[in-house]
Amino acid sequence: AQSVSQHNHHVILSEAASLELGCNYSYGGTVNLFWYVQYPGQHLQLLLKYFSGDPLVKGIKGFEAEFIKSKFSFNLRKPSVQWSDTAEYFCAVILDNTDKLIFGTGTRLQVFP
């Protein structure tokens, strides 16, 4: 079955540290890829998305992600995190043969000042 894996379940960083959250999917066809963020007490928001074109995608708040097709990966990065980045981050995929968004297990990021 198709799935989305996020290897880091809980990440703890100090402010200004660099961030990379892993995301891998298992599907051989075309995919649309997303990163969503859920700040404490708030609803899910879209950080960035990839449909086609440049595999390096820039999103809001300084986040970016790179789609590497050969590795089935879509890792999220930020060069310097802030305390306000503390949140739960979800990678998600839409497969080309469905309309359904499949979520990864999520990564909880805690940033300490």
Contacts with another protein, residue ranges (CB under 8 A): 32, 34, 36, 42-46, 49, 51, 90, 94, 99-106
> Shortest gap between Cβ of 61 and another protein (angstroms)?
16
Cβ count within 10 A of residue 10: 10
Whose CA is closest to 91, among 79, 109, 68, 73?
A: 73
> Shortest gap between Cβ of 16 and another protein (angstroms)?
29
Query: How many residues in the chain?
Result: 113
Q: Are the beta carbons of 88 and 111 closer than 8 angstroms?
A: no
> Shortest gap between Cβ of 22 and another protein (angstroms)?
15
Q: Which is nearer to another protein, 18 or 45 (CB)?
A: 45
